[in-house]
Chain A
Amino acid sequence: MVDVAAEVPAGPTGPGDATRRVRRGPLGFAITLVIALAVFAGVGLLFHAQTYSSPVGTQVATKVGTSTVNGVAMQHVSLHFNTYPDASGSVNGVPIHPGGNQSWPSYGPTNQYQVPAHALVTVTIRQYDSGGSLNNPWFDKVRGTVGGTARINGKVVTSINPNNVGHTFTVRGTPGTDPGFFLNVPLPLVPGDSQADNGKYETIVFSFVSGDKGLYAWNCEFPCGTSIAGFGGPMNAFGYMSGFVHVV
């Protein structure tokens, strides 16, 4: 009976040497750590610069003056943006998502807006897109604006036909930021059989009183995307039909 292991010469050093022999330890470790951190930072920057994060800047609201709402005097500012049938900005010729999907509908020229806290914000949206029916007709009502109304092509409305919706502009406070804040403005469609680039638009004007400082998230609740419920594609890619309102 022979144990094979006994025949094989043991290594020149015993197992205990493992605890003693550390050659080039600190330098080697530093190099390992630096490489690991560099990889981590590189991957992080890559993700940070991902094309499916928003490629466009922030629109800072223009000062208009001061106004009084319900007896409270406050700053009055205004925002102007549009909704396009595609992200190439073919209506005004400026690409909105230079590296992105050009065939998707998109808000433009930016999806990030900055307004002061507790100010009256008047928003003017030009809606260039066609549309259809909402998934949930609850969003056909104007909610959260001053007076609960919006002006569509000059006409004051509180709701629109849920089957003639182009997009909606729906804002809510993020968790921890003014949880009660909610704004929903349905944007009527431009009549036409497709997302036509015919240059026609609907003008929607409304005012709301901004909430506490913080980050507010907006998106569109009209199913203008792809796939089963119309919420694929642009609806689920940040920057097309979604964005932030920064209240400062």
Chain B
Amino acid sequence: MSSDPSGAEEPPVLEQGDSIVARRPFFSGPAGKIFIIWFLMTTVGVLIGIFAPHHLLPTLLSTEGTDVWRTMVLFTILAAPVAAFVYAVAAYSLIGWRHRGNQDEPPEDGPPLRGNSTVTAIWLGVSSVLVLVLLAWGLAVYSAESVSPPHSLQIDVTGQQWVWTFSYPGTGVETRSLVLPINRPVQFNVTSVDVTHGFWPVDLGVQVDANPGVVTVIRATPDKLGKFTVRCSQLCGLYHSFMYAPGSVVTAAQFSQWLQSEGASTTTAQATALVKQ
């Protein structure tokens, strides 16, 4: 394998540097220009990672929703350098290595670089490390979300074509709107009476399918007051578009009042809403 002197200052691809070329200033050679493009693109990517999820996602009302936002930020920042490197090489190849002149005939052949085990090893190593970081983060977040703390508020969710109903066990309250007290872990026990639906309280950042015949479980801890929408995320027939329910996160006192307004007795309402944690 022969090495082309013009790009010898890029350590990953060429095995041996060429002393003549190595004296050239770094930023005037291909490696330097690629580095500049890479740096700019990485910066853009990191900025996108920091700002885009914040502006694009709805206001997420639960700790799980905040985790989604954090994951987006982290993953974008981690992916930005890799994506930027690929883009930078591609962009530079169009700037610096493009065949100019008569496009009807092919240019001379390029250097016969058939591979480079060092570069491949570095590439494999870096991508493996990145994947490990992503996995560690994802698994940690997931396992933290998979446990129902004691005193979780239980809510039975029933999906059917094309209405959601929510029942608060022990209170006799069964409604079409989902009202949750703030700072209280909620466990949704979700099922369906006909076909598969997707229970998705959008702004809580969690979802699980409602399957006929079984109960699936999802948890969330609302930590901000506000209104949200429950949508159906699984195509469920004719009125899938219209299968939604209004939801809101309220204070414990308001929640108790709401339960009473929906027909629960004062005692059960207060017992359900005002649990000591």
The answer to whether A and B touch directly, with their CB atoms under 8 angstroms apart, is yes
Contact between B212 and A236 (Cβ–Cβ < 8 Å)?
Answer: no
Min CB distance A75 to B, Å, is 26
How distant is the Cα of A15 from the Cα of B102 in the complex, in angstroms? 12
- Of all chain A residues, which has the CB nearest B174? A138
* B165 on interface, CB distance cutoff 8 Å: yes
Q: Given A179-B244, A229-B195, A242 and B238 touching (CB < 8 A)?
A: yes
Contact between A138 and B165 (Cβ–Cβ < 8 Å)?
Answer: yes
Q: What residues on B are CB-neighbors of A231 within 8 Å?
A: 161, 194-195, 237
Q: Identify A229's interface contact among B162, B163, B176, B193, CB under 8 A.
A: B193
Q: What residues on A are CB-neighbors of B176 within 8 Å?
A: 143, 182
Q: What residues on B are CB-neighbors of A236 within 8 Å?
A: 161, 237-238
Q: What residues on A are CB-neighbors of B160 within 8 Å?
A: 135-136, 221
How distant is the Cα of A237 from the Cα of B161 in the complex, in angstroms? 13
Interface size on B, residues (CB 8 A): 26
* B104 on interface, CB distance cutoff 8 Å: yes
* B128 on interface, CB distance cutoff 8 Å: no
A interface footprint on B37-52 (CB within 8 Å = 1, 0 otherwise): 0000000000000000
B interface footprint on A178-196 (CB within 8 Å = 1, 0 otherwise): 0110100000000000000
Q: What residues on A are CB-neighbors of B162 within 8 Å?
A: 219
How distant is the Cα of A143 from the Cα of B263 in the complex, in angstroms? 14
- Of all chain A residues, which has the CB nearest B227? A179
How distant is the Cα of A142 from the Cα of B176 in the complex, in angstroms? 13
Contact between A15 and B104 (Cβ–Cβ < 8 Å)?
Answer: yes
* A121 on interface, CB distance cutoff 8 Å: no
* B63 on interface, CB distance cutoff 8 Å: no
How distant is the Cα of A19 from the Cα of B174 in the complex, in angstroms? 70
Min CB distance A185 to B, Å, is 14
How distant is the Cα of A170 from the Cα of B223 in the complex, in angstroms? 33
Q: Identify A14's interface contact among B104, B165, B231, B242, CB under 8 A.
A: B104
* A9 on interface, CB distance cutoff 8 Å: no
How distant is the Cα of A170 from the Cα of B176 in the complex, in angstroms? 12
* B143 on interface, CB distance cutoff 8 Å: no
Contact between B212 and A242 (Cβ–Cβ < 8 Å)?
Answer: no
How distant is the Cα of A19 from the Cα of B104 in the complex, in angstroms? 9
Query: Can you give 25 contacting A-B residue pairs, CB < 8 Å?
Result: A14-B104, A15-B104, A16-B103, A16-B105, A135-B193, A136-B160, A136-B165, A138-B158, A138-B174, A170-B163, A172-B242, A175-B241, A175-B242, A175-B244, A182-B176, A217-B242, A223-B194, A229-B161, A229-B195, A231-B161, A231-B237, A235-B161, A236-B237, A237-B238, A242-B239
Which residues does B use to contact A, with CB under 8 Å?
102-105, 158, 160-163, 165, 174, 176-177, 193-195, 212, 229, 231, 237-239, 241-242, 244, 246
Which residues does A use to contact B, with CB under 8 Å?
14-16, 19, 135-136, 138, 143, 170, 172, 174-175, 179-180, 182, 217, 219, 221, 223, 228-229, 231, 235-238, 242
| Closest A-B pairs by Cβ, 4 of them | A16-B104, A229-B194, A217-B242, A179-B246
